[in-house]
A and B are shown apart, each in its own frame.
Chain A
Amino acid sequence: MSVFVYVEDWEGALKKASFEAVSYAKTWADMLSVPVIALVSASANDAATLATYGADEIRTFDAVKSGFGVAEQVSALSQGAKGLVVAGTNFGKTLAPAVAALSGGALSTNTISEPLQSSPLQVKRGAFSSKGIETIELDATFPIISFTPNSIGIQERSASGAVSSVDATGSDLMGLVEKSVTTGKIALPEADVVVSAGRGLKGPENWGMVEELADVLGAATACSKPVSDIGWRPHSEHVGQTGIQVNPNLYIAVGISGAIQHLAGVSASKTIVVVNTDAEAPFFKAADYGIVGDAFEVVPRLVDALRAFKAAQ
């Protein structure tokens, strides 16, 4: 009897969200006084480092390509488990429901808290596009937690972490043609810092300073819905209720008024900075720090100040 955790890698590299997943599993397993077993693709490098975050055992398997196939493998490999933890990445969002459907497990997605209690298991999850928080109770047979990356945090707690390999078969229903990744860019849902801009920037040609600010902070870039609808920026950068929901440590919004649909996608951010010319912009009510000013003056100054700050560190 153990808590299992599925660990995702990207082209061999373990994801930050995966360390968070192992940390989550460790906290839960300690409540139940059972060990943590990490399931990781054999293609991942440095699987042994998962011990640093609390994996008592690390089992590698030849992961197939499709979400459904991996779900079959994870279901088979985690039989008899006390529970399963999956990071709510894009892949995790396909995987966890498929595991629940195959195994008859009880699933909480969008989970934003560690277990409030372990029997019966209760956790908090985001609902109504972050306008509400639901406390959900999961049936004890096979509870599965998919959590929102960045919402829990990584903890280092070392465990023995013996590595072994296991076998499981999974079918491949998907005909993958090609994967393309925008290299050098930080994936929005996992970013620690997000710099976002809206119509206040007046045109797509003015995004250079936003990218510069993002660059100084090691941030991902994002935009408001109108900006993606008029094609200034790609849809993949649209954050908000019907776009990507983010919860970084720091969210900087430039020239975004803060419509309720936008706030729904970003309000879980830990610190929010708003720059807007309009002192009445509703976003200021949801912000921690605000500057009423012209983005074209404020952003370059902020870039300079942050460069000086980073240089002094």
Chain B
Amino acid sequence: MDILVCISHVPDTTAKINFTADGSSLDASGVQFVINPYDEFGLTKALHIKEAQGGTITVLNVGGPETEPTLRKALAIGADKAVRINATPTDAITVAQNIKNHISANAYDLIICGQESIDYNGQQVPAMVAAMLRYPFVNACVGLDLNGSTASTKAEIDGGHASYSNALPMVIGGKKGLVEEKDLRIPNMRGIMSARSKPLSVEDATSGEAPTKSAAFEKPAGKAAVKMVEPDQIDELVRLLNEEAKAI
């Protein structure tokens, strides 16, 4: 079982987000970068599959050299090799095209992505990669069982769940539920040492004309000060919600 896990390099969930003074990009100073949480569930699922039935796990990131520590962390957690496609990821379709090219040149049985990255929240790349390859695709995937070359998956849909059964290869946009929070692994010393000698290869990117570009970033407008209501004045809260907020 050859599994590709696509990894985004994103600001930590607790990071305060600021933009450069001209609003053109994220101000990365003082920001800690981590493996995208959605991808971490996918990586852990890949480890479970490998431990149950063998195989290799390749982690891939489309990004600059600054993302290599994140790939090394994935190696320390247990991936076998890492690939960095050397490009600045500015739009989803170019990232997807590069991932698709890598997959076409290396046969994988299963491609696990997180359903979205917590930086640009596009939720685009996994579906694009699948469409380009004409592979089956399950988004918001919260369950995956393999039986030979057949995958049974469970996905969140609006108001419920759907189950699918498909022949591999396929692409998954995963989230918590693939594995649980408690299953996530922290790299241990042995993992960190062995990660140093695991292969991390850099591949050239194909460049295309990006169909979208960022014009500006801003922070959301702050809220006005909270209005406090006494716990024995609930009728007043109902009045405010009705007359002032027009929320009920």
Count the A residues whose beta carbon is within 8 Å of the partner chain — how many? 96
A290→B213 contact, CB < 8 A:
no
B137→A173 contact, CB < 8 A:
yes
Does residue B140 face the partner (Cβ distance < 8 Å to A)?
Answer: yes
B162→A110 contact, CB < 8 A:
no
Does residue B203 face the partner (Cβ distance < 8 Å to A)?
Answer: no
* Chain A residues with CB below 8 A from B229, complex form: 289-291
* Chain A residues with CB below 8 A from B180, complex form: 229
Q: How far is the CA of A143 from the CA of B247 in the complex (A)?
A: 34
Chain B interface mostly helix, strand, loop or mixed? mixed
A93→B127 contact, CB < 8 A:
yes
Within 8 A of B (CB), among A108-144: 108-110, 122, 126-139, 141
Q: How far is the CA of A267 from the CA of B237 in the complex (A)?
A: 20
Does residue A166 face the partner (Cβ distance < 8 Å to B)?
Answer: no
The closest CB in chain B to the CB of A133 belongs to: B218
* Chain B residues with CB below 8 A from A51, complex form: none
Chain A interface mostly helix, strand, loop or mixed? mixed
Q: How far is the CA of A189 from the CA of B140 in the complex (A)?
A: 13
User: Which of A22-30, A36-44, A203-211, A280-288 sits within the interface?
Assistant: A280-288
A135→B215 contact, CB < 8 A:
yes
A185→B159 contact, CB < 8 A:
yes
State the Cβ distance, B41 to closest chain A Cβ, in Å. Answer: 9
* Chain B residues with CB below 8 A from A175, complex form: 136, 164-166
B181→A289 contact, CB < 8 A:
no
B25-59 vs A, Cβ < 8 Å mask (1 yes, 0 no) = 01000000000011000000000000000000000
B132→A129 contact, CB < 8 A:
no
In the A-B complex, list the 4 residue pairs whose CB atoms are closest, starting with the nearest. Answer: A293-B231, A181-B160, A106-B211, A97-B127
Interface residues of B (CB under 8 A from A): 11, 13-14, 16-17, 19, 26, 37-38, 92-93, 96, 118-128, 130-132, 134-140, 142, 152, 156-166, 175-177, 180-182, 209, 211-220, 223-224, 226-231, 234-235, 237-238, 240-242, 245, 247-248
- Additional A-B contacts beyond A128-B26, A182-B160, A267-B220 (10; CB < 8 A): A90-B157, A97-B125, A104-B211, A110-B122, A178-B162, A179-B163, A245-B121, A271-B247, A284-B226, A287-B226
